[in-house]
Amino acid sequence: MKAPRAAVLVLAPLLVACSSVAQPSAELTPAAPLAAELPGATPTAPEVPSAVPAPNLARLPVLTDEQGAVIVEVAPRDPAEGASQIEFEVSLNTHAVDLSFDLAQLSTLTTDTGLVVPASMWDAPLGGHHVSGTLMFPSTLDGTAVLENARTLTLTIVDVDAAVRTFEWQLP
């Protein structure tokens, strides 16, 4: 009968330890009571909320501008967490104009918060009549997150067989 007695001796302290519940003090954060009860432990600081997550740009509609002889389609891409770029898939189609444009030189991104961001890169082949690529903008400008608190996002492209092409999205 030594086996049952040994089990009681092992389980009894666990049952007693599990039955006592520490009552949090009004002065401590939820994580602090556990750390404060451990010898030599330092209470943890409350969690600081992370930055406002970027809106889901992939859910925004594909927009098309058919001015002049060039049809331009723009689809926002969803930024990865902590991404350094805001990206758009852009398709240029024509049968009359050579598409040797560097869209990074011709594009800006504007928000309703007043930020105006020049494009950083146009990743696409130059030339031809059907060109598709990725137009990129930095996700921060002078230390400010471009999409933070923005409700409207406007992409402007100039001088692609039309003076100005404007694509505007309402952010979720």
11-29 pLDDT, tens digit each:
444 444 444 444 443 343 3
| pTM for this prediction | 0.68
Provide the residue range defining the domain that includes 98. 57-170
Roughly how many angstroms between the first and final C-alpha of the chain, as a whole number?
68
Q: Are residues 64 and 136 in the same domain?
A: yes
* Strand blocks (E) in the chain: 63-65, 71-76, 85-93, 107-111, 116-118, 121-123, 130-138, 140-141, 144-145, 152-158, 164-170
β-pairing verdict for 130-138 and 85-93: antiparallel
Q: Are residues 64 and 124 in the same domain?
A: yes
| CA atoms of 35 and 56, how far apart (whole Å) | 38
Q: Are residues 19 and 95 in the same domain?
A: no
Give me 142's structure tokens.
């002078």
Amino acid at 26: A
Degrees to nearest 5, angle at CA 153 with 152 and 158? 135
For residue 38, pLDDT beyond 60: no
Number of domains present in the structure of the chain: 2
Of the two residues 149 and 14, the one the predictor is more confident about is 149
| CA atoms of 121 and 67, how far apart (whole Å) | 24
- Residue 42 domain-assigned? no
Give me 172's structure tokens.
């979720």
Contact yes or no for 77/54 (Cβ under 8 A): no
- Residue 50 domain-assigned? no
- Residue 142 domain-assigned? yes
Degrees to nearest 5, angle at CA 58 with 56 and 61? 115
64: confidence class by pLDDT, cuts 50, 70, 90: very high
CATH code for position 107: 2.60.40
Q: Is 2 helix (H, G, I), strand (E, B) or coil?
A: helix
Task: Supply the pLDDT for residue 4.
Answer: 52
